Structure 1
Amino acid sequence: MERRTIIVVVLSALAIAVAAVVGAGSKDSASTTASTQALDTAPATSTAAAAPVDVPAAIAKKPVPSIPGGNPPKTLVSRDIVVGAGAAAKSGDPLTMRYLGVDWTTKKVFDASWNRDPNEFQFTLGAGNVIPCWDEGVVGMKVGGRRQLTCPPDTAYGANGQGSIGPNATLVFVVDLLKVG
């Protein structure tokens, strides 16, 4: 119950932030020079999701984010790991996704839909149901794709943090787009 409340609060904050930055941001390519981190997963609570969807082999396994050394970026970084071949996500589309979220500094997984059954997550892109990083970083992603989003605090949970996520945390998500519509 507490996790659902957190998600609602985060999504509300995301909607406000997205409205402020729509069309004003830019996306940079992420550096892939750092080593990939092996991560421990934390348990997560179950939430309702859509019926299972066919998953392309390229995104069928749980991802491992690549977090470069050094300081985190100051702007959203969106990098395709696997480019999908299906429909492209646009604002207003209902999406079905999977995700794994890691704190840049601690390299610890703070949440992952992969840890639930079913493991899909649904939201409407651009409706403020998720943090601004997602509403901005998922636009244009195609079904069957996998993307890494590096989210500075102002596009994530900001100075307040959320649950186990500390204040001003930079977050890294690997997201898979399973379905548009």
Structure 2
Amino acid sequence: MKLKFPLIAAFVAILSLTACGGGGGGDATPPAVNANNPTALTRTDNVIGTGAEAVNGKTAHVTYTLWLYSGAAADHKGLRMESNSFSFMLGAPGVIPGFQQGVLGMKVGGKRTIEVPASLGYGAAGSGNVPGNTGLVFEITLNKVE
């Protein structure tokens, strides 16, 4: 009878050591950081506008230039993809979330650079010439809000 308790205690101790994976050899490698994907959405105002503010429910008329994000470039602008102008309703589907979030709060006449992580852009699948898991850099000018 006296041997039963120490035997159970030893068994429980061995089981708990086995369950925690053995004790830290430190040979697990951390996940790789993608140099072509920023870790978070960033907004940098290059020119502060003075006109109407871009808010959800309003239509924003913008001109933009798009680059693929490059961690190796000083300004993070990699391959230039396109320049264009278009209008969209803030808060409505149809425009990537990072672009919408980047325009919110701008005022007409403002110019902003936004860095968009893939999770707020085209994700793991990518789109057209944008590879999967690649961040984006936009320079945006807000021309009009209605």
Residue by residue over 1:104-134, the C-alpha shift from the partner in whole angstroms, topping out at 9 and shown as x without a partner, is 1381111211xxxxxx311111102210001
Identity %: 39
Q: Number of matched residues?
A: 106
Runs of 4+ in 1 over 2 A off after TM superposition: 70-73
CA distance in 2, matches of 1:134, 1:164: 17
Larger Rg: 2
Question: Which residue does the alignment assign to 1:110?
Answer: 81
CA shift, 1:71, in A, is: 6.6
Question: Which residue does the alignment assign to 2:113?
Answer: 148
Q: What's the C-alpha RMSD, in Å, of the aligned pairs?
A: 1.5
**TM-score, structure 1 length as denominator?**
0.56
Q: Identify which of 131, 139, 144 aligns with 1:166.
A: 131
CA distance in 1, matches of 2:117, 2:53: 24
Q: Which runs of 5+ in 1 are unaligned?
A: 1-69, 114-119
Residue by residue over 1:43-85, the C-alpha shift from the partner in whole angstroms, topping out at 9 and shown as x without a partner, is xxxxxxxxxxxxxxxxxxxxxxxxxxx7743110011011001
Question: Which residue does the alignment assign to 1:73?
Answer: 38
**SS of corresponding position for 1:128:** coil
Q: Which runs of 5+ in 2 are unaligned?
A: 1-34, 71-76
Higher strand share: 2
Whether contact under 8 Å (2:37, 2:133) holds in the other structure is: no
CA distance in 1, matches of 2:81, 2:132: 14
Q: 1:145 to 1:102 in 2, by over 3 A?
A: same
Whether 2:94 is the aligned partner of 1:129: answer yes
CA distance in 2, matches of 1:94, 1:129: 13
CA shift, 1:95, in A, is: 1.0
CA distance in 2, matches of 1:148, 1:179: 17
